[in-house]
Amino acid sequence: MKGFILMFLVIGHLYEPFGMTHSMKYFYTASSEVPNFPEFVIVGMVDDVQMVHYDSDSQKVVPKQDWMKQTDTQYWERQTATALGSQQTFKADVDILKQRFNQSGGVHILQYMYGCTWDDETGQTGGFRQLGYDGEDFLVYDMKTFTWIAPKQQAMITQLNWNHDQSGLAFRQNYVTQTCIDWLKKYLDYGKSTLMRTVPPSVSLLQKTPSSPVTCHATGFYPSGVMVVWQKDGQDHHEDVENGQILPNDDGTFQKSAHLTVTPEEWKNNKYQCVVQVTGIKEDFIKVLTESEIQTSWGKTNRDDPAPNIVLIIGVVVALLLVIVAVVGVVIWKKKSKKGFVPASTSDTSENSGKDAQKI
């Protein structure tokens, strides 16, 4: 299970907004014999903010943001009906794949990710769709030809069937190039007070011991598009730099760290600085590496200030929470069992309604 959780954490930012690019993503997961985990989960996200959730235990699609409550009752009823149909198809697909891979019992995961991106400055759009089984690519959607590619022999039957379904191909192309974009814009309008805001980061330089790496920690920023770069004498410096993942805070903002391994002699004889750039904010946020700027628990600077330790503890807790969220809602990155998409003008997730589902 650890493998596909980490996969989501990485993939979650393959399409993260940078510049003024917005994204909508849906993650589906069907599982077999995973203890204390629903057999089927759907998570929908806009700009990396979870907006809807469904699982086979509750059997109900629910909003995860207040701004999603603007939608009417019929919307949630349709979404739930669609999710219930998908749940049955995905469950059957897991059984089909176990047969294809000559598997019997044990833990197995079928994952599916699809969505789109839109740049509100240039108007450029993009799309993506991918399935995976047990942590490996199963089918990949080619955005140039709008057809499926099978990385594995066991997927070739599905590839041939789906690529010969002309109505299905046409629908998937229309969804990823138009319908998905329209719904993304609609959701952005619903949540514009939250999703379209910009919040500057708080930047700190942290160090545990004199021999530890110096951490440039940016937190509290929004949106999630960020660059945290160490510079030496005015030039970007990548040697001995380890970049951390972008992680969410409980208030909807984000945090990211970059760790620089450097000796005190080196940074005292050269100008090292951390530069943070956040999407939508023209100003750069800079911290010059000096003794007075380093927050630590071992030196004179902030000796009695527990804030740095608290920041690090919060970072660890948030990272753990992200993993929990990934398990509970998005261990899903490669899955797509049923068909591709069932057209329904009233729902952005209708591509997976049971009405026109294709079996793997």
Number of CB atoms found within 10 A of residue 221's CB:
27
DSSP structure class, residue 173: H
Q: How many CB atoms lie within 10 A of CB 291?
A: 12
**Which residues are CB-neighbours of 134 under 8 A, at least 6 positions away?**
101, 108, 109
Residue 199 DSSP one-character state: B
At 276 the pLDDT is 98
pLDDT for 347? 55
Q: Enumerate the domain spans of the chain.
A: 2-194+327-356, 202-323
d(CA 174, CA 168): 10
Q: Tell me the C-alpha distance between 261 and 308, whole Å.
A: 18
Q: How far apart are CA 208 and CA 67, in angstroms?
A: 41
Reading the chain (360 residues) residue by residue, the pLDDT tens digits are 434 433 443 334 433 434 478 999 999 999 999 999 999 999 999 998 999 999 999 999 999 999 999 888 999 999 999 999 999 999 999 999 999 999 988 999 999 999 999 998 899 999 999 999 999 999 999 999 999 999 999 999 999 999 999 999 999 999 999 999 999 999 999 999 999 899 999 999 999 998 899 999 999 999 988 999 999 999 999 999 999 999 989 888 999 999 999 999 999 999 999 999 998 899 999 999 999 999 986 654 443 444 444 444 444 444 444 443 444 334 333 333 333 333 333 456 544 443 334 578
Is 2-194+327-356 a CATH 3.40.1190.20 domain?
Answer: no
Backbone angles phi, psi at 247, to 5 degrees: -120, 150
Task: Determine how many CB atoms are found less than 10 A away from the CB of residue 120.
Answer: 14
The per-residue pLDDT for 280 is 87
Q: Residue 82 carries which DSSP code?
A: H
pTM of the model: 0.72
In sequence order, what are the residues at sequence separation of 6 or more whose Cβ sits closer than 8 angstroms to the Cβ of residue 49? 65, 191, 194, 195, 252
Judge whether 293 and 299 are in contact, CB under 8 Å.
no
Number of alpha carbons in the 13 Å side-chain half-sphere of residue 109: 28
Q: Quote the CATH superfamily of domain 202-323.
A: Immunoglobulins (2.60.40.10)
